[in-house]
Amino acid sequence: MSVTDQAFVTLATNDVYCQGALVLGQSLRNHRTSRKLALLITPEVSSGLRSILRSVFDEVIEVNVLDSADSVHLALMQRPELGVTFTKLHCWTLTHYSKCVFMDADTLVLCNVDELFDREEFSAAPDSGWPDCFNSGVFVFRPSLKTYNLLLQFAAEHGSFDGGDQGLLNSFFSSWATADIGKHLPFLYNLSTSVVYTYIPAFNHFGRDAKVVHFLGARKPWNYKYDLQTKKVMQDGTTDGSLHQLSFLSLWWNIYSASILPLLENLQKMEDSEFEECKHTFNGVEITLKKVSPFVANSLQMPVLPEQIDEVHPVACSPEELALEAWLYFSNPYVKLNKAVLTSISLSLTDLQNNLSFLLHFRKPRN
């Protein structure tokens, strides 16, 4: 039986976080939630992607970006990008729902969690870094314009002690730590993958009952590489290597590759001709960079190559691999396009830093 006045709500202010939102939405569907799925996006989210978002979410609502612009506090967390998490506050404006559960776009449900709607505002799980604070990646709330306006007013007057929504919400709902244990969600509803290392015995004992996993921290599942053939997340020097973390990452990628990639690939086929292009000339060779969605990069898929393929062999998979593996057939010998060359293409490097990847087209110079 579907409940139409309650919803799971998430947020994505850009196309990259949309990848997470899509997997979260799909995981809720896979576990047959009876509640609506709502997604808050901001104008930056591309139009093509919106049609896909609408196929997974019941409602996709555009809101304006709210940014704390508090670089001083955000620097303490080494996460300058999290000022925009103030945008989360818009969830209180969804007054056509009587009760909602907010979930970060970097969370994933492992089973049906509809029982969360039995809780009251404001319910959340302890933050692993400071357990007298709640983590604002998963919380139960009641949409209300009154609360929304009070939150904005509070933000204007007091700011946030971490520069993001979590500091603000903890100050606003300050009785959470002490007033009502019923508003403390079990940690199993917001299991931070990074905390597993700090308390492995507890994870071994309780971990199998985890209900929601939260990929908290700067490195998100979509920043890992995944091999579509072996269905494995690729480990590199920076992967912590914990089997627990790898199994959660694999779960995320399994959903992404089975349910989300096919949708994105269809979109890409439809839009291929419309993608923005930019041209560079390097050493007399014209290089066309075609912007594509980030998913092509990390899924280790070979890009669809352009007609000039008989002249070149680009192997462009990710920003890193572009530097190391792009080969260019250039007046007979193969010339390796190395990092030195790549860094001289300043525009592409900026885009790479923005987490985008490219299809490469090379053209041999006309003699």
Footprint of ligand GLC (CB under 6 A)? 82, 85, 104, 135-137, 162, 164-167, 216
Q: In what order do the strands lie in the sheet with 107-109?
A: 107-109, 212-214, 191-192
Tokens of 265: 């690939």
Residues with Cβ < 8 Å from 32, sequence gap 6 or more?
A: 112
Distance CA 245, CA 233 (A): 10
Angle (deg, nearest 10), helices 145-158 and 165-172: 110
Residue 81 touches which of ligand UDP, Mn ion, ligand GLC, none (CB < 5 to 8 A by kind)?
ligand UDP
Q: Which does 128 bind (CB under 5 to 8 A by kind): ligand GLC, ligand UDP, Mn ion, none?
A: none
Alpha carbon distance 232, 250 (integer Å): 6
- CB 43 to ligand UDP: min, Å: 13
Q: How far is CA 261 from CA 105, 190, 294, 310, in A?
A: 17, 26, 11, 28
In terms of CB distance, is 218 or 258 closer to Mn ion?
218
Tell me the closest approach of the beta carbon of residue 290 to ligand GLC, in angstroms.
33
Nearest distance from residue 165's CB to ligand GLC, in Å? 5
CB of 116 or CB of 289, closer to Mn ion: 116
Binding residues among 215-234 for ligand UDP as defined by CB under 6 A: 216-217
According to DSSP, the β-strands at 99-103 and 59-62 are unpaired
**Measured from the CB atom, is 123 or 128 closer to ligand UDP?**
128
What 3-state DSSP class applies to 228? coil
Cβ at position 215, least distance to ligand GLC in Å = 10
* Residues lying near Mn ion in the complex (CB under 5 A): 104, 106, 137
Q: Which residue is nearest to ligand GLC (CB)?
A: 164
Q: Which of 114, 162 has the CB closer to ligand UDP? A: 162
Could you give the C-alpha distances from 271 to 299, 307, 315, in angstroms and in order?
Answer: 19, 17, 21
Burial zone of 333 (CB within 10 Å; 0-12 exposed, 13-18 middle, 19+ buried): exposed
The entry of ligand UDP, ligand GLC, Mn ion, none that residue 114 binds, CB within 5 to 8 Å by partner kind? none
CA 128 to CA 122: how far, in whole Å?
18
Q: Which does 13 bind (CB under 5 to 8 A by kind): ligand UDP, Mn ion, ligand GLC, none?
A: ligand UDP
Is residue 117 a contact partner of residue 99, using CB atoms and an 8 Å limit?
yes
Q: Does 85 bind ligand UDP (CB under 6 A)?
A: yes
Which of residues 216 and 359 has its CB atom nearest to ligand UDP in the complex? 216
Residues 6-25 that bind ligand UDP (CB under 6 A): 10-14, 17
Selection from Mn ion, ligand UDP, ligand GLC, none that 167 binds (CB < 5 to 8 A by kind) is: ligand GLC
Contacts for 217 with CB less than 8 Å, ≥ 6 apart: 193, 194
| Residue closer to ligand GLC, measured from CB, 1 or 72 | 72
- Which residues are near ligand UDP by CB under 6 A? 10-14, 17, 81-82, 84-85, 104-106, 137, 216-217
